[in-house]
Structure 1
Amino acid sequence: MDGILTIDTIDQYNKLFGFETRHPLVGIVSFDTAESQGSYRMTMGFYSVFLKETQGCKINYGKTNYDFDDQTVVCIAPGQTVGYTDVEGIPKKSVGLLFHPDFIRGTSLGQKIKKYTFFSYEANEALHLSEEEREIILDCLKKIGMELRHAIDKHSKGLIATNIELLLDYCMRFYERQFVTREDMNLDTLARFEQLLDNYLSSGIAAKEGLPSVRYFADKIYLSPNYFGDLVKKETGKSAQEYIQLKMIDTAKEGLLDPHKTIGQVAYDLGFQYPQHFVRFFKRQVGLTPREYRQQN
């Protein structure tokens, strides 16, 4: 298919692949029976969680192509552009959960959906499952599917939303496990981040490009900002932004102890456009103004 498809509703998605629509705002889809669609790109207006069981297709979103291994979960948020490519000669087999933002409004899940930061991870940051973890995910999907086949009553929405929330909570637990099992890789990433941050603040990049941002370093390390932020938080106990700010304060203190530098020069070297913004930032972090800190030291 040429161009980017815009799929705003679950019914549109179901019609594209030949699935039955049992609920306008929630769906369970299974690609072990769906016909091949070749290669295409689409932007969906709803959340989706896919459990891949074979290497029957490739998914691309963000900057990365990703060939799925067995037992892989990928989560996609509304508005993301996703590319799919069938792998010739290999049958695709996957099951997916689709749910529209309108379905979870007013529910516990709606209030906490933003905490599931893995919806903004890149494809190469997908979740890899053990067999036991796969069974847990499939069990949650099975319960949601049973509710969708049941006649809709006053309990339907609450039960479906609760099971979706349970599934996402398990995904969060499994991602935390994955961060632990990839600790060596994560430490290498942190070391690279530290090096990039030091270079940004000491080589004049900040003065040219402005204040350092989480997105800047995530891009340099080829990770999504959310995944990068979660990795830093898991390994250091601090958010990526907090980590950056602490490094900025250390650099600022060194600059303020240089008698040949004005406070304005220190601010400019850190990427601040206006010295007064630096003064407020420093006072908020240290409890002293830059001038007071300089006088005390």
Structure 2
Amino acid sequence: MQKDNLTTLRIETIAQSHKALGLVKPKHPLFSILRFEDMPRVNNDARVRLIFDFFHIVLKKDCPGKLQYGQTPYDFDEGVMSFFAPRQVSILEPGDVLAKSGWLLMIHPDFFRTFPVGKKIKDYAFFDYAVNEALILSEDEEQSIDSLFQHIEKEYHLPIDTYSQDVVLSTVDLLLTYCNRYYNRQFITRKPKHSELLNRVDHVLNESVRNAAEQGLPTVNVLASQMNLSANYLSDCLKHLTGQTAQQYIHEKLIEYAKDILVTTELSVSEIAYQLGFGYPQSFSKLFKSKTNQSPLAFRASFN
């Protein structure tokens, strides 16, 4: 069998990124904003693992091909946004081409380390979403985002003064706030598709709980992997559908399964704990009581 060669390319600075794209040095060492239409067309004929040491905020328009959103492919007729945190791994496939238009904003963590947005950006889960969980913008949303990118671009090309960093970062802060808002809209408008996802989650989770004795306690990462989703995206999706995070949803399923066993069998608490994948019975009892305000034995006794 032929081995699939994969080259790793680590980009530590924004200047290195400009060089790799065939562009002149950035005007600022810690941040840069580019238009896809201004980038040289690069033909890629190899698989490359890309690792960047800085944030990427990307708006793609008029990109060849389709975006796979969950189980549904979408044309790039509307703007599509992706977000990448430092040291995330991206795979560039042979034949991949740049979008015909759009924006690429690169920001090194040192640029906003002492600013409020430096703390806020860590709370935006969409920086850990997978590519197929991108933000698909409506026409009005795209116009709003475009105007913010244009504002950042204008500031980028002005001479640096005392206010430059504040102006750029306040605009980036507003940009991310809008993106967070639009992601919430996307969860709501795609609720029918997400309801199908919830059915799949329940099926996978029920199987995991039934096999927990052999496979161990179900975790968010394992569940997300089985769903072909990132853990953060799955958790955010469940939050919108059920009001619970993925971890809370898993715990609820475990407790419901435990209740059935307690009422319908004479298994001891220890046996039930091990059957559900808990390493220690005390951990199971603690979780059960935190969710029901009763110990497992007290719950069983209430049915006798």
TM-score (norm 2): 0.88
Q: State the partner residue of 1:35.
A: 40
Q: Which of 210, 223, 228 in structure 1 is aligned with 2:229? A: 223
Give runs of aligned pairs for residues 1-297 of structure 1, distance below 5 A.
3-17=7-21, 18-39=23-44, 40-56=48-64, 69-70=76-77, 71-85=79-93, 92-202=100-210, 205-297=211-303
Is the CA contact (8 Å cut-off) linking 2:57 and 2:104 kept in structure 1? yes
CA–CA distance in structure 2, aligned partners of residues 236 and 247 of structure 1: 13
Instruction: Provide closer, same or farther for how the CA distance between residues 68 and 36 of structure 1 changes in structure 2, counting only shifts above 3 A.
Output: farther
CA–CA distance in structure 1, aligned partners of residues 281 and 215 of structure 2: 16
Identity of aligned residues (%): 35
Instruction: Provide closer, same or farther for how the CA distance between residues 224 and 267 of structure 1 changes in structure 2, counting only shifts above 3 A.
Output: same
Task: Look up the equivalent residue of 1:154 and give its one-letter code.
Answer: T
Task: Look up the equivalent residue of 2:291 and give its one-letter code.
Answer: Q
Partner secondary structure for residue 159 of structure 2: coil
CA–CA distance in structure 1, aligned partners of residues 110 and 202 of structure 2: 41
Partner secondary structure for residue 248 of structure 2: helix
Task: Look up the equivalent residue of 1:282 and give its one-letter code.
Answer: F
Residue 211 (structure 1) shift: 1.1
Task: Look up the equivalent residue of 1:179 and give its one-letter code.
Answer: F
Is the CA contact (8 Å cut-off) linking 1:36 and 1:86 kept in structure 2? no
Partner secondary structure for residue 257 of structure 1: helix
In the TM superposition, what whole-angstrom CA distance separates every residue of 1:140-161 from its partner, at most 9, and x where no partner exists? 1111112222222221222111
Cα RMSD after superposing both structures? 2.6
Partner secondary structure for residue 264 of structure 2: coil
Aligned length: 292
Task: Look up the equivalent residue of 2:54 and give its one-letter code.
Answer: F
Task: Look up the equivalent residue of 2:32 and give its one-letter code.
Answer: G
CA–CA distance in structure 2, aligned partners of residues 281 and 5 of structure 1: 44
Residue 36 (structure 1) shift: 2.5
Residue 89 (structure 1) shift: 9.3
CA–CA distance in structure 2, aligned partners of residues 195 and 220 of structure 1: 11
Task: Name segments (4+ residues, structure 1) moved above 6 Å.
Answer: 57-60, 88-91
Residue 57 (structure 1) shift: 7.8
Task: Look up the equivalent residue of 1:223 and give its one-letter code.
Answer: L
CA–CA distance in structure 1, aligned partners of residues 66 and 139 of structure 2: 21
Which sections of structure 1, spanning at least 5 residues, go unmatched?
Answer: none
Residue 238 (structure 1) shift: 1.0
CA–CA distance in structure 1, aligned partners of residues 275 and 145 of structure 2: 49
Partner secondary structure for residue 56 of structure 2: strand
Task: Look up the equivalent residue of 2:250 and give its one-letter code.
Answer: I
Task: Look up the equivalent residue of 1:69 and give its one-letter code.
Answer: F
Residue 56 (structure 1) shift: 4.4
Is the CA contact (8 Å cut-off) linking 2:58 and 2:103 kept in structure 1? yes
In the TM superposition, what whole-angstrom CA distance separates every residue of 1:120-148 from its partner, at most 9, and x where no partner exists? 11111111112211111111111111222
